Structure 1
Amino acid sequence: MGVTHEDLTQRAMEELGAEFFATEHSTRGMRSATEEIWKANAEVDDDQTNGFKHFDGESFVAGKQRLVSLFEGTLRSLRAEDAQGGRRQLGQALHTLQDFYAHSNWIESGHSGALSSLWRPEQPLPTFAGEDTPTCEACEFVIISDGSLLVDCGHNLSTVALTSGFYGGENEVPRHASKCRHGGPTDTGPGPFGGINKDTRLQTLSPHHPLHDAAADSALEASKQFIRDLQGQLTERQLKLLFGVGPTLTVAVDTSAGMGNLLLQATRQLARLIESRIGTEQEPLRYVLVPFQGASASSVRVTSDPREFQSALAALGSSARSSCSAPSMTAVLQALEASSDEGDLFLLTQSRASDDSLASTVSGLAQRKHTRIHALLAGSCGGAASTEAAYQRLAEETGGQVFSLRATEAAVFAHLVDATVRANAVTLLALSDARGGGRSLSVPVDASLSQVTFSLSGSPSLRLTRPDGSLVSARDPGVRIAQGATGILVTVLAPAPGIWSATLTPAGAFSFQVLGESPMDVDRFEFVEAMGRLGHQGYLAPPGLPVLSSLLATARLSGDIASARFELRSPEGVLLQTLVLAPEPGGSPLEFFGPAGLSSQPFVVYGVGRSSTGDTWQRVLPGALRPRTVRLLAPATQGLLPGSRAVVSFQVHNTGAPNLFRPSVRTDPRFGARVTPDLLVLGQGQVGVFTVQWEVPRDAAPGMTATLRTTVESLAPQGMENFADVVGVVAGAPR
């Protein structure tokens, strides 16, 4: 139907990413940041009441106030290292800015490019029509040569002053009968027949559709200039935070007695790895460290300074107190809350989880942040950690791995960090099998991969064969191996493209992954629903994990891809279903849509196809998904006022057997939250409601964001949960 808000936002971020950082390809973190921004952009269309958010109804003063406020709020958030708040406000601003060009007559008046006075407070707005000034006439009906009736809106404007269309149902109501309408089948407001919107290339939706591309071109230039203006007031580190440049390194580490030598060796090797990355594209943008022991977790250390993180690692030491039970789930939860999306979290511990009741909350947060959790378990405490089911669960559900380590095997930890914490980390294969037994696997390696790592947990025995039939050896150039008693990692630099073979012979349960680095990936795969009004429609994932129902699936790829198909496989690697997804006509060849009916069986999502050079490519989305029979619905955003209490309502939909459900909530430590009621009894097909009273501190700054992370768990029987997040934005200046 034309160029969408998502298209404009992605293109602006990609082009500016190359301009600001001289990157040939957007990294995974940059693509994730862009997605966060365009999703915030799309959410603006959920509000069809306040026309100033769309520059409708000649709301130019209020629309500018909104852009100025969001510009300042974006700066405040990024200066406070609040990436989520900065990206969210930028996305909201870009939607309003982009709508100006599609909803006003600026393009019809012969203008093009960025109108910077829309957000620069010192610049006056162009002269716009008064409230009692007529701006439009009715469109005309024209009979064309084949006898068809056509609506011609090419000459319906009656003013050269700036104006925009009024949309029925919005707060902005025309005082004059001859004010322009927005137009399209969903606009039921008063005014002359027709309208002036240029949202799409379709005449049925957009009366001024011939000018759609011109409006989109100017909207793109304005979006880029808005971000360039932000750049001028940000440090390089703050700009990188906005764009998601660089991976995140997140570690939760047990400092109980018994961790001594392993802790010392692990922190030293990690410090050396950090040193080797300083000044490179692999240098992490953010470092998160959470030490814990005994009865409590320590304070969270978050920094963007690698030297500060190295000092924090060096200061770690094992306690004199011995404990084989520790609040490891709390530590992981704190680390997740402080980390960026699209990363890996490493838990190094000897202890059982004394707070394993938090496992569902931890897993849910990791999945919504697309973060893999890897557990590296010390053998002290008589192997207590290796018997903790919560660690295995977190790894399986998030796409991580579990390794049991001896005191001398810290190299396995460092090697795993090096393989996963990378700017363009991808996964080629992911299998887990509790039954064990020998496996011979084929792994397609494409030419875009700069390195691959074969990671086996559960056995140290791994035989690798290149496409030419030669065996991989530790003596080969470009090969690095870290081996432990129960696992092995083999990294190959500049791997030959083709089909590699991996032979493994674990006696018991194992996990095998093939990791790599490449600009070619499945950036996004979601089960989605249509949202927005006709002409402004888009697809957004409902909150939480997918439910047992017929949904739509959408995928976005990156890289030099010629063809793609999508498969659902069991965690053991058995093909369950091939999805019929295809690009939309006239849309991006790297965006796929189609139906997806889900069963109750756990599955892993694979993308498979050919590159433009003819290589077979294969990528895996981390983590095994199990469709749910309970769904949690909530508003995506909530306005907050300093010193106030917001009441947020949640709906729990139970499509499974009758059950008892318990809602729980976490939020920023400075905010308070209380759930009412604390239990819900729901039969099959029933809907329950609970509310959360959200307390906002008096000193909350305008533009500050906080997240209400809500989970609902079944209790009788256990094992079914889902989650939803509500992002609260503290209000600034009016409108």
Structure 2
Amino acid sequence: MCKIYTVQLFVAMVVLLRPSFVNSFQPLFVLNGKSMTHRHITQTAILRKTAEVCRDIAASEGREFSLTIDDTLSVSQVQKACSSDISTSILSTVYFHTSIATMYFSNAIVDVVYLLSEEHHFDDETFKGGRDVITTGVSAVKASVKDENYIAGRWTLGQVCHTLQDFYSHSNWVELGNNAPYNSLIKPDQTLTNLAGVDVQTCRNCNGNNCKNNILPDVLQQGLLTSGYFNIFSSKKPTGKCSHGGSLDRTSKRDPVGGINKDKVGSSHGFLHKDAANLAVDATVELLEDIRIAVGDVPFLRLMGLSQSSVLCFVIDTTGSMSDGIAEAKRVSFEIIDSKRGTPQEPSAYILVPFNDPGVGPLTLTTNADIFKERINRLTASGGGDIPELCLSGLQLALTAAPSSSEIFVFTDAPAKDAHLKSTVTALIESSKSEVTFMLTGVLSSRRRRRSSQGVITRALGQSDAQLYRDLAQASGGQSIEVTKADLSMATSVIEDSLASAVVTIFQAVVNPGRNNNFTFTVDDLTQNLTAYVTGDSSLSFKLTSSTGVSQASNETSGPLASITTAGNLRRLRIRTDNETGIWQFSVTSDSPYSVKITGQSSVDFIYNIVEEHGGAHGDFSLKESRPLSGGNATLMVTMTGSNTVTVTDVSLLDDSGPTQVNGSIQWMGSGDYLVTFREVPSGDFVLLLKGEYSNSTSRSTRTSLMRQASTQIKTSSILVTAQVNNTNIEPDSTVTIPFTVATAFGGVVNDSATGTFTIRATNDRSYTLSFSTNLIIGAGDGGKANGSISLSVPSSALSGTDVTLTIEAENTADNDINYTILRFSVALKVTDVSGPTCQEVNTSGNCSSSSSFLCSSSKWEFLANFTDGINGTGIERITLRQGNGTLNTSTAVGTAGENITVVTYSSSCCSQSVQLIAVDKVGNVGSCVGQVRAVTTATPVISTTAANNTTSTGGHGLSISHPLVVWMGVFISVLLKYTH
């Protein structure tokens, strides 16, 4: 245990000092453009499989699907092809882009988190260990999807894909002449065969830098499977074994010298890089297909994040005085559900978190609107006690449950009893980039609380209480809307606004303390339905001026530019014109704090992620789940969505309180991706502003300006927090130890001579037990850093598929400085059932004509089969049609050995002459059965009389002739032919 802990601390120090020991396909980028990265491989496979699923769904529904499916697909192409109705909506690809980014960032993080794990990279001939990593991860993904926990599923899936993809680069599978994936890697019930034994020599020295023929001929002739050894510390390896290769692999300097990896074109076996990468794509597609069959088409598309609508997420105070707030939340949510159900704008998921004191939850996360309705309808206002409630605990749960870039609405009239969670919630906001809007009722105009005539403090929000919520809203880019209970229904219009399709932020500013300001923003012709929101006290006034010079003042509720409504501290402007492009102006007069936000609807938007550069010969970037260092460089990966004609011209960080502006240097990486580097970012709270140009639809030679802004603030810190884990899959009734390191930085680098005392906070969204020291001291001679550890105990009651988000914070109270790191875990039961259900055909009856397709509807055939998951299996959960469009009937029986048997009867017209049945057990193992009718020259109708407990009519992908007139004609002609021959 001591040895493992020491290695983990060393890994944390390695990551802290930022060298690169990447030994796989490049994670995210290659500057020469000739090699394929894990990002490219993962995205290509996701787009291919997603398009295939959409194609099959379209075929089953009788719709056309014209997209050509190949390795050149773009996110926009697949989103558009998969959208069944985009005629009345503006298509947004932000959620699809964000979900794919989650998967390729979690893929890339394997090279950091599992730096020294041979199993995660198929190094050192650890084929069984690598296969176990894959199959255990796939089981966790299936469990997460079953629980509708798609965020955890994506994060785990990305990591699984990394290990699977590394097999094709690190083993000799390609050198053996294989041109198809090794599907035993995703099937734990299959035996891994023909592995080179531990005493079998596999390589010889390379000829200088030429390693083309370094695998021994006997190994190739016998088809023995091997992989390269890799070690950054020692050159020791078994005699005669191949090495991974590369400047950081010390084993490659020892006989046999050289390596066999195909990570990039310049690698030891780089001449096979493209072959390995293409096989990695095909293998990832195969893996995705296995998950798709196990979970079903619609859940699979949700896992991929294929949605153009946001989630509906409410965090609601349920104490006694909140009856009006609960009623309004019910009203607005029911109205949204009823008006959008069945349309492309229907929310992709529904999240509800009630809170009071001392309770939080339970969390409702569902894609079923009726379940959400039932849960929110249950809420009642009761109790209240000592006034403050656990608002931030409820918000914490919502932030970890909702997808990135969600909009969360909090209803409360009470102070936060758990205000100590402010920094944790802020960290989760920054990580998820979700917007939080507070619907606050009963905010006092002064800092003093009201007292009743009996001297009791009434339930109300003082200014300091409300300021906590304002700060969190500002950090997220949301709003703090303060209204009376009577005016709450006027303010909830912002909820309906946020759920419109493809909402983008054009401009946003928070000014505190208040001062007069003239803001400018650019309106483009790719944006429609502009809306402006202004929050501030009653003394605030403003003027809106269009690009043509037309103006409207705040006291004109209906003017030439907008209609203005007021609810509490919120002014909402519905801007009437969509055709006045160019620079607009918004002038505000106020000496009190206020905010301004301009939104619209547009397919064109952007997403961004803070990434961390790793230097060295094999350097790249990985996702940074903490704040950039003050005074250092910050790098962002920016992706434009919705258009291939937009060119990014400027990306800057703005600090309104300064005002300070830091301009970034932009490097185009292809396919709408940009690396943006900011040099020496000062301390402060920044927002990201992007400007670009695009070709005007009426004139290709004319370039039009475009402006977008990210809502979430980017904060800097002089503290560095890093953590490492052995495994992100955790079992119930277990305890995991997470080592972490805290360091003080100056000018963006660790200050070796720094000392200090740090307060450590660690929280998780599942309330699992944590054990850690709350203080950490960096002493003289410690090199500017100190190590700590946290124990996370998982209860035995934890369900498989549950995700756990752990936030570790370090605060230097002397400098009022905080930084954090965020870790994600998935609870995964150890799966002992690794075999899929088996099928035995019992009988096929009925004959179908092979020559008279016109008569097919009058003839029937039947297929009878038995499925079982064995006596020790987890049991069959469902049986579905993979091919065929007949009727599926099931009943249950018990076999001679006591095993449960599912008896399947499939009946169909002769218009569909084959069937494929899919059976899935309770842990996601898949079995299949194929049946086909016998064909003769004359069709013989068959009448099925088999009874079943369950009957399901399922549309397949074949031709279906079901019009009554056609059926009648078929029978008539059949009888006529019988009597005329």
Shorter-normalised TM-score: what interval?
Answer: 0.7 to 0.9
2:481 is matched with: 403
Counterpart of 2:579 in structure 1: which amino acid? A
C-alpha distance 86-522 of structure 1, shift in aligned 2 (>3 A)? same
Is 1:563 equivalent to 2:648 in the alignment? yes
In the alignment, structure 1 segments of 5+ residues that lack a partner are 142-150
**CA displacement at 1:465 relative to structure 2:** 4.9
Question: Which SS does the other structure have where 2:471 is aligned?
Answer: helix
Question: Which SS does the other structure have where 2:278 is aligned?
Answer: helix
Q: Provide the rounded CA distance (Å) in 2 between the counterparts of 1:241 and 1:11.
A: 18
Q: How do 1:589-604 and structure 2 match up within 5 A?
A: 590-604=673-687
Q: Provide the rounded CA distance (Å) in 1 between the counterparts of 2:445 and 2:194.
A: 78
1:605 is matched with: 688
C-alpha distance 23-295 of structure 1, shift in aligned 2 (>3 A)? same
Q: Provide the rounded CA distance (Å) in 2 between the counterparts of 1:452 and 1:516.
A: 4
Contact 1:286-1:302 at 8 Å conserved across structures: yes
Question: Which SS does the other structure have where 2:313 is aligned?
Answer: strand
1:16 is matched with: 49
1:724 is matched with: 821
Q: How do 1:706-721 and structure 2 match up within 5 A?
A: 706-716=804-814, 719-721=816-818
Q: Provide the rounded CA distance (Å) in 2 between the counterparts of 1:262 and 1:60.
A: 57
Match among 513, 523, 530 for residue 445 of structure 1: 523
Q: Deviations over 1:404-439 (max 9, x none)?
A: 223343355432223334564432211111243554
Match among 213, 225, 239 for residue 155 of structure 1: 213
Counterpart of 2:792 in structure 1: which amino acid? W
Match among 408, 412, 430 for residue 367 of structure 1: 430
**CA displacement at 1:642 relative to structure 2:** 4.1
1:286 is matched with: 349
Question: Which SS does the other structure have where 2:284 is aligned?
Answer: helix
2:578 is matched with: 495
**CA displacement at 1:512 relative to structure 2:** 0.8
Percent identical residues: 24
Contact 1:28-1:423 at 8 Å conserved across structures: no
1:194 is matched with: 258
Is 1:31 equivalent to 2:94 in the alignment? no
2:496 is matched with: 418
TM-score, normalised to structure 2, is 0.66
1:98 is matched with: 165
Contact 1:117-1:125 at 8 Å conserved across structures: yes
Counterpart of 2:818 in structure 1: which amino acid? E
Contact 1:638-1:727 at 8 Å conserved across structures: no
Match among 653, 669, 689 for residue 787 of structure 2: 689
Contact 1:555-1:593 at 8 Å conserved across structures: yes
Counterpart of 1:354 in structure 2: which amino acid? K
Contact 2:442-2:484 at 8 Å conserved across structures: yes
Q: Provide the rounded CA distance (Å) in 1 between the counterparts of 2:166 and 2:134.
A: 12
Question: Which SS does the other structure have where 1:233 is aligned?
Answer: helix
Q: RMSD of aligned C-alpha atoms?
A: 3.6
Q: How do 1:64-103 and structure 2 match up within 5 A?
A: 64-103=131-170
Contact 2:634-2:679 at 8 Å conserved across structures: yes
Q: Provide the rounded CA distance (Å) in 2 between the counterparts of 1:550 and 1:380.
A: 40
Is 1:207 equivalent to 2:268 in the alignment? yes
Counterpart of 2:230 in structure 1: which amino acid? G
Question: Which SS does the other structure have where 1:32 is aligned?
Answer: helix
C-alpha distance 298-306 of structure 1, shift in aligned 2 (>3 A)? same
Question: Which SS does the other structure have where 1:583 is aligned?
Answer: strand
**CA displacement at 1:272 relative to structure 2:** 0.5
Counterpart of 1:566 in structure 2: which amino acid? V
Q: How do 1:464-475 and structure 2 match up within 5 A?
A: 464-467=544-547
Q: Deviations over 1:290-347 (max 9, x none)?
A: 3344665454333322122223334444447697543322332233343333212212
**CA displacement at 1:589 relative to structure 2:** 5.3
2:110 is matched with: 44
C-alpha distance 634-50 of structure 1, shift in aligned 2 (>3 A)? closer
Is 1:516 equivalent to 2:600 in the alignment? yes
Question: Which SS does the other structure have where 1:348 is aligned?
Answer: strand
Q: How do 1:239-638 and structure 2 match up within 5 A?
A: 239-244=300-305, 245=307, 246-261=309-324, 263-293=326-356, 296-297=359-360, 299-319=362-382, 325-379=388-442, 384-385=460-461, 387=463, 388-421=466-499, 424-458=502-536, 463-467=543-547, 482-491=565-574, 495-496=578-579, 498-507=581-590, 508-530=592-614, 534-535=617-618, 537-559=619-641, 560=643, 561-571=646-656, 574-583=659-668, 590-613=673-696, 614-635=703-724, 638=727
**CA displacement at 1:173 relative to structure 2:** 7.7
C-alpha distance 122-571 of structure 1, shift in aligned 2 (>3 A)? same
Contact 1:240-1:285 at 8 Å conserved across structures: no
**CA displacement at 1:240 relative to structure 2:** 4.0
Contact 2:611-2:623 at 8 Å conserved across structures: yes
Q: Provide the rounded CA distance (Å) in 2 between the counterparts of 1:319 and 1:63.
A: 53
Contact 1:660-1:679 at 8 Å conserved across structures: yes
Question: Which SS does the other structure have where 2:772 is aligned?
Answer: strand
1:5 is matched with: 38
Q: Provide the rounded CA distance (Å) in 2 between the counterparts of 1:572 and 1:670.
A: 37
Q: Provide the rounded CA distance (Å) in 2 between the counterparts of 1:335 and 1:456.
A: 26
Contact 1:375-1:401 at 8 Å conserved across structures: yes
**CA displacement at 1:75 relative to structure 2:** 0.8
**CA displacement at 1:4 relative to structure 2:** 0.9
Q: Provide the rounded CA distance (Å) in 1 between the counterparts of 2:799 and 2:479.
A: 40
C-alpha distance 286-539 of structure 1, shift in aligned 2 (>3 A)? same
Q: Provide the rounded CA distance (Å) in 2 between the counterparts of 1:599 and 1:628.
A: 9
Q: Provide the rounded CA distance (Å) in 1 between the counterparts of 2:193 and 2:776.
A: 56
Q: Provide the rounded CA distance (Å) in 2 between the counterparts of 1:122 and 1:259.
A: 55
In the alignment, structure 2 segments of 5+ residues that lack a partner are 1-29, 55-77, 81-90, 447-459, 697-702, 747-753, 835-981
Contact 1:677-1:691 at 8 Å conserved across structures: no
Contact 1:498-1:615 at 8 Å conserved across structures: no
User: Which of these two proteins has the greater Rg computed from alpha carbons?
Assistant: 2
C-alpha distance 115-655 of structure 1, shift in aligned 2 (>3 A)? closer
Contact 1:419-1:516 at 8 Å conserved across structures: no
1:145 is matched with: none
Mean Cα displacement is larger for which, 485-494 or 357-366? 485-494
**CA displacement at 1:187 relative to structure 2:** 2.2
Q: Deviations over 1:228-262 (max 9, x none)?
A: 22111113453244223342222222344554445
C-alpha distance 409-682 of structure 1, shift in aligned 2 (>3 A)? farther
Q: Provide the rounded CA distance (Å) in 2 between the counterparts of 1:685 and 1:115.
A: 47
Q: Provide the rounded CA distance (Å) in 1 between the counterparts of 2:724 and 2:214.
A: 39
Counterpart of 1:503 in structure 2: which amino acid? F
Q: Provide the rounded CA distance (Å) in 2 between the counterparts of 1:106 and 1:397.
A: 50
Counterpart of 1:691 in structure 2: which amino acid? S
Contact 1:69-1:733 at 8 Å conserved across structures: yes
C-alpha distance 292-65 of structure 1, shift in aligned 2 (>3 A)? closer
Mean Cα displacement is larger for which, 125-134 or 629-638? 125-134
Q: Provide the rounded CA distance (Å) in 2 between the counterparts of 1:259 and 1:59.
A: 59
Contact 2:607-2:639 at 8 Å conserved across structures: yes
Question: Which SS does the other structure have where 2:689 is aligned?
Answer: strand
Q: Provide the rounded CA distance (Å) in 1 between the counterparts of 2:726 and 2:528.
A: 40
C-alpha distance 116-506 of structure 1, shift in aligned 2 (>3 A)? farther
Question: Which SS does the other structure have where 1:232 is aligned?
Answer: helix
Contact 2:634-2:681 at 8 Å conserved across structures: no
2:949 is matched with: none
Q: Deviations over 1:125-167 (max 9, x none)?
A: 56444444444333335xxxxxxxxx33333332242434422
C-alpha distance 512-201 of structure 1, shift in aligned 2 (>3 A)? same
